[in-house]
Structure 1
Amino acid sequence: MPNARPSRLTRRGVLAAGSAVGLGIALAACGKSDDKGGPGKAAEKSGPWSFKDDRGTNVQLKTTPRNIVAFIGTAAALYDYGVEVKGVFGPTKGKDDKPDVQAGDLDINKVEIIGNVYGEFKIEQYAALSPELLITNMWAKDDPWYVPPQSKDKIMKLAPSVLLWAAGTTMQKALQRHAELAESLGGDVKGKQAAAAKARFEKAAARLRAAAKAKPDIKVLIGSASQDLFYVSVPKMSADTLYFQELGVKFVEPKPNAQGFFEELSWENVGKYGADIIIMDNRSSVLQPAALTSKPTWAELPAVKAEQVFPRVTEPIYSYDKCAPILEDLAKAIETAKKVARP
C-alpha cells in the first residue's frame, strides 16, 4: 500500500498504512537495545519440530526449520534471542536505505527483503528461498499480517506458517509467546542476556505502575495522523496499551467506528478529547508531529503547547530487550508530565 492514503480506509488498511492501533511508546532510540554485542546464534536443534500457534494450529515438521521468512518486527524479536531468518517482509528500510524502526537490531543487509511496503510480497523471490516456515502476526483472526489478501492463498501454500497475536492479548502474553517460539527454534531465552532483559522489563513495569499511581489524573491520548484525519485509538484493542491500562495508565477512551479500533476525527475536531500527554505513531508511513505545524488546531492542543507529545512504537518488537525501554519511556513521560487538560 502506498504511503499516500485516502481519507477513509478499512481497518486493515489503516493498520498497515500506520494508524493508531498497535500502541507502544519510545521516547528515545525507538526501542533499540543498549547492548551492542548482539545475541548469540541459535543452537542447532535436530529431530522433529512442532509449535502450536495462536490460531490453535499445531505446526509439525520433520526437522527444526532453518529457511524462515518472517514479518520484519517478528524477525527482529527472534533475532534478539539468536534466531536468524532468511527473508523478511514489511517495512524494512527507508528511502535512504537505513533500517526502519521495526527492524530493531536486525542487520537488514543480511536478509532477503521479500516486500518493503504494504501490498508488496515477491512470491517468486519467496519461493526461491525454499521456505520451511513463514512467521507473522495477527491483528484479526486467521489474517496473516502484511501478507497481501489478493495473493494470500498462493503464498500460504508454499510453506507452513505460524501466526501470533498482536491484538486480543496483552504485552506480557505476546512476549511469552514470542519467547516460546524462539526457544522452539533453538533461541536462547534463559541465558544471561535474556535474563537481564526480562529483569529490566519487570523493573520497568513496576516503575510504570508506580508512576501511574502517583499521577492518576494524567490522561494519555493515543494518536496517529494523516493529511485529512486524526485517529484516536481504543487502548484495549492492542496488546501493549491493554497492558499499560492494567498497570494503571489512564487513557482517553474514544468512540470508535463499527470496526472498534479507533475514532476518526477531522482536524477541525482534533481537540474533542482533553489529554495531558499525546503519544504519536512512530512508523515511517504516517505524518509525524513536525509535519503538523501547519494544522492550527493541532498547535492549540494543551499537550502540544506543553511539549508533552512523544513518539510511540506502534508495532512493538516483542522481545523483553525491546519492550523494556517502551515501559521506561512511558513511565518517564508520566513522571514528568504536568496536568494541562481541563477535567
Structure 2
Amino acid sequence: MAGPVFARRGFLSAATGLAAALALTACGGGTEPATSAAPTGSAAPGGWTFTDDRDKKLALPERPARIVAQVGAAAALWDFGVRPVGVFGPHKLADGAKDPQVGNVDITKVEGLGNVWDEFNVEQYIALQPDLLVSSMYVKGTLWYVPEKSKDTIEQVAPTAGIMLTGRSATQVIGKYEELAKSLGAGMEGVPEAKARMEAATKELAQFKDLKILLMSGGPDAMWVVNPPEYPDIVHLTAAGLDVVTPSKVDEGGFFQTLSWENADEYDADVILYDTRTQSLKPEEMLKKPTFAKLPAVAAGQLYPWRAEVPFSYQGYAAFLEELVANLKQASKLP
C-alpha cells in the first residue's frame, strides 16, 4: 500500500480498506437539520453566499439548513455549532464506537452515508434532501471521500463546498471553517475560550525548540516519515518553533518518505510522534520491530501520540496542543 494510493487513502485518512457500492433511488430521512443557535435556512439580505477554496462562489436564495459533510468537515463544523444531517467517511469503528476522526459529532443523530473509501450511498443522500455538501480537499478541486464514479450525480443534488488542507497552516484551515460556520448561522458557543486555549498552548511550544522531533506512521512492512509542509497541523507546529524532521527524499505525492523497518534509524530524533489513526500500527506492534525499539527516542520513552486528524476547530486544536505540550515537558535532548 505504498505510493500515492496509500498517501491519499491510507496515510491521510483512517480508511482501513478500499471498498464500495452505490445506488440511486429514495428512502426515508427524518434526521434533524442544521445548526445550533441562530435561525437556520432563513433568507439573509441578498441570500446566502460563500466562496470556497476552489474559488467557487456559492449562492443560494436562503441559508443552507440541511448540511451533509465528510467526517473531518463535520467534526470541524460541529465544534462551531453546525449540526449536519449526514456524514460520510470513517465515523464508526468495527465495534460500533465512534472513529476519532468524527470528533464531537453525535453519530446517533446523523445519517451515515458511507464508512470506508469509495462508499457513498447516493440514494440515502438524495433522501436527506441536502442543501449543501461540505468536504475537505487534499488536492484542489477533489472533494475528499466523494467517489469519482458518482460525483457528477452527487453534485447535481445540492451545491458543494471544498475546504483546502494541503499546504496551509491549521490556523488558516480553522479560519476557513469558522467563516463557513458563521455563514451557516452557527452559535459559536465556547469558541472564544477554545481559541484562547489554542493560542496559549501554541506559545508554549517555543520552549521545546531544541528538541528534534520526527512524525511517523507505521505499517506491517514499512514506516512512513511525514513531510511537514504538506500537513496543516505540522505547519502550525513548525511555525510555533518546533524543529521537525523533513525527509530528504519524499515519495511521489510529496506527503512522506517510505522506509523499510531495517532503515528506521535513517533520521536522528529526540522525540518521535506516532500516528494514532486506525490504519497505523499501535506502539506495542511497532516495538516488535527491533530496529524501531532500539531508536534512542523510543528507548528513552520519548514516544508520544500524533493526533493526525484532529478536527479543524479551536476546540480540537486546543486539546491536541495541550496534550502535546504536556508530553514534550517530559522529554529531554538526547546525547
Which TM class, normalised by the smaller chain length?
0.7 to 0.9
1:44 aligns with one of 16, 23, 39: 39
Is 1:263 matched with 2:257? Answer: yes
Please state how far the C-alpha of 1:333 moved relative to its aligned partner. 2.7
Residue number in structure 2 paired with 1:251: 244
Give the CA RMSD over aligned residues.
1.8
In the alignment, the residues of structure 2 paired with residue 72 and residue 274 of structure 1 have an alpha-carbon distance, to the nearest angstrom, of 35
User: Which residue is 1:274 aligned to?
Assistant: 268
Taking structure 1 as the reference length, the TM-score comes to 0.86
Give the aligned partner of residue 179 of structure 2: 180
1:201 positional shift: 1.0
Following TM superposition, by how much is the alpha carbon of 1:69 offset from its aligned partner in structure 2, in angstroms? 0.6
CA displacement, residues 262-294 of structure 1 (integer Å, 9 cap, x when unaligned): 100011111111111111111112222122232
TM-superposed CA distance for 1:160, in Å, is 0.7
Correspondence list, 1:3-82, <5 A: 6=1, 8-11=2-5, 13-18=6-11, 41-45=36-40, 46-47=42-43, 48-82=47-81
2:26 corresponds to = none
Q: Where do residues 295-310 of structure 1 align in structure 2 (5 Å cutoff)? A: 295-310=289-304
Q: Which residue of 1 aligns with 2:158?
A: 159
In structure 2, list runs of 5 or more residues that go unmatched: 15-34
Q: Deviations over 1:230-262 (max 9, x none)?
A: 100111111111111111100111021232211
| 1:205 aligned residue | 202
Paired position in structure 1 for 2:83: 84
Contact 2:217 2:280 in 1 (8 A): yes
Moved runs in structure 1, 4+ residues, more than 4 A? none
Q: Evaluate the alpha carbon distance shift between residue 144 and residue 246 of structure 1 in structure 2; reply closer, same or farther with a 3 A threshold.
A: same
Correspondence for 1:32 = none
Matches within 5 A, 1:186-225: 186-189=185-188, 191=189, 193-209=190-206, 211-212=207-208, 216-225=209-218
Once residues 275 and 321 of structure 1 are traced to their aligned partners in structure 2, the CA distance between those partners, rounded to angstroms, is: 29
Contact 1:19 1:281 survives alignment (8 Å)? no
Mapped pair 1:335 → 2:332: no
Aligned 8 A contact 1:276 1:308 in 2: yes
Q: Does 1:317 align with 2:304?
A: no
The structural deviation recorded for 1:317 is 0.4
Q: 2:4, 2:252 within 8 Å by CA — same for their partners in 1?
A: no
Q: Which residue matches 1:37? A: none
Q: Counterpart amino acid of 1:318?
A: F
CA distance in 2, matches of 1:126, 1:20: 22
C-alpha change, 1:258 and 1:285, in structure 2 (3 Å) is: closer
Shift of 1:157: 2.5
The residue that corresponds to 2:25 in the other structure is none
Q: Which residue of 1 aligns with 2:30?
A: none
How has the CA–CA distance of structure 1 residues 149 and 20 changed in structure 2, closer, same or farther, with 3 Å as cutoff? closer
Any residues of structure 2 matched to 1:97-136 within 5 Å, and which?
Answer: 97-136=96-135
In structure 1, runs of 5+ residues without a counterpart are 1-5, 22-39
Using the TM superposition, name which of 118-127 and 145-154 deviates more. Answer: 145-154
Is this contact kept in 1: 2:273–2:304, CA < 8 A? yes
| TM-score normalised by L of structure 2 | 0.88
Letter in 2 for 1:42: A
Residues 83-133 of structure 1 show CA distances to partners (whole Å, capped at 9, x for unaligned) of 101100111010111111112111101111101111211111111111211
Q: How much does 1:312 deviate?
A: 1.5
For the 8 Å contact 1:20–1:262, the answer to whether it is kept is no
Shift of 1:162: 0.6
Q: Give the secondary structure class of the aligned counterpart of 2:157.
A: coil
